[in-house]
Chain A
Amino acid sequence: MKWLLMLLAFVLGAAITWFLTVKRVTRTVSVDDGAADVEAAEPDLTPVVSPGEPVAGAVGVAGGADLAAAAGAGVLAAEAPEISQTSEAADSAVDDEDGEEGEDDADNASRFGGSHTEPSEAPGAAEEWDRDAQDEDALMPASAVEASDPGAESEEDVPPVVDATPNGDLAGVGNPAEVAEVDGHVEAQQSAAAGQASDSSSTGDVAGVSQSAARHEQGELTFDDEPEPPKKPKKERGGTAV
């Protein structure tokens, strides 16, 4: 009888404690409240970028200008579907029972560099290099090999310059019209220098030398390409100064 009463006390204690501690409450939940709670619980960390508009928070942040430029060029809009496609490919790869191609897509999407695109499929010089190759041309990319082809059309676009310019430009590098213009300019400078050398004063001073000396006396820093004129006595320089 005593243990039966103790068991009854156990049951009453458990039941009373449960009803005292656990409370049930009823609320009416609307869609608007749910949407507000979703915004509060999971804030959207993705920045909203519109083409042609300033990026919020981009000032003073490294890469903000790039982000704005990418938004203006439409790169972000082009990348968004690609990302969703890769995620869908990863999901489908998990569900795929065959697994081979799906797993490859998932690996491509998750590894460094992301999934392969058409430009990324073109192998570079290092990827094309054959370890056993003895020819150094194997290190050259395909585009360089095509450019070095004598039958390529790219060489016909830039006609070679027959003679080297007086400044030492190599033939075939410059545009013939520009080279001719530079040659004419250089000849004009040389003729002007010869005229200045002949236009000397009666005392034997060379025109332009005293002006350069005056600039040196004023303490200005000049970076003339002209060679330093020979120093003359002070009395002559003071006589020619205006």
Chain B
Amino acid sequence: MAQHAPSSGQPVTRSYRQGIGGAWWTALLVVTVLLGFVGRSDSGFWSVFLWSIVGFVVGSLVAIALAGRLVPARSEDEAFAGLVRVDGAGGAR
């Protein structure tokens, strides 16, 4: 994740991670059910539904792994805590 160089009085955008929460479970159910209905005429609802669950979970694990590598901050304060240190090493000091 690119770290924006801060300057005085300018907005700085930072990223941080948070828990997936209940929205992920809702998305899992909706996506797999929709895909099951789409593939119902080819392989049957349950086959496509179950394989869609596998694909969704694996894709989620890959996304979580990438987020853990690219976004080290786990909270908003932690994301801005390193802002001044990076800036101080660059030229503020």
Least CB distance from A29 to B in Å reads 5
The interface-forming segment of A19-27, A74-82, A177-185, A231-239 is A19-27
**A21 lies within 8 A of B13 (CB):** no
Number of A-B contacts (CB under 8 A): 148
The answer to whether A10 and B58 touch (CB under 8 A), given A1-B39, A21-B19, is yes
- B24, B43, B59, B76: the one within 8 Å of A10 (CB): B59
When distances are taken between beta carbons in the complex, the residues of chain B under 8 Å from A29 are 6-12, 80, 83
When distances are taken between beta carbons in the complex, the residues of chain A under 8 Å from B93 are 38
Q: Assess whether A162 is interfacial by the CB under 8 Å rule.
A: no
When distances are taken between beta carbons in the complex, the residues of chain A under 8 Å from B47 are 2
Residue among A9, A20, A21 with the most chain B CB within 10 A? A9
Least CB distance from B44 to A in Å reads 9
Q: How many residues does chain B have at the interface if contact means C-beta atoms less than 8 Å apart?
A: 56
- Range of interface residues on A (Cβ < 8 Å): 20 to 34
Residue of A nearest to B93 (CB): A38
Label chain B's interface by main secondary structure: helix
The answer to whether A15 and B52 touch (CB under 8 A), given A20-B20, A26-B11, A34-B87, is no
**B56 lies within 8 A of A10 (CB):** yes
**A9 lies within 8 A of B15 (CB):** no
Residue of A nearest to B14 (CB): A25
When distances are taken between beta carbons in the complex, the residues of chain A under 8 Å from B35 are 5, 8-9
Q: Which residues of B contact A (CB under 8 A)?
A: 6-21, 23-24, 27-28, 31-32, 35, 38-39, 42-43, 47-48, 51-60, 62-64, 66-67, 71, 76, 79-81, 83-85, 87-88, 92-93
Given contacts A9-B54, A30-B8, 4 further A-B contacts (CB under 8 A): A2-B42, A17-B24, A18-B67, A34-B92
Q: List 23 A-B contacts (CB under 8 A).
A: A1-B39, A1-B43, A6-B55, A9-B52, A9-B54, A10-B56, A11-B59, A12-B31, A18-B63, A22-B16, A22-B71, A23-B15, A23-B16, A24-B13, A25-B13, A26-B14, A29-B8, A29-B10, A30-B9, A34-B87, A38-B84, A38-B92, A41-B84
Q: Which residues of A contact B (CB under 8 A)?
A: 1-3, 5-18, 20-31, 34, 37-38, 41-42
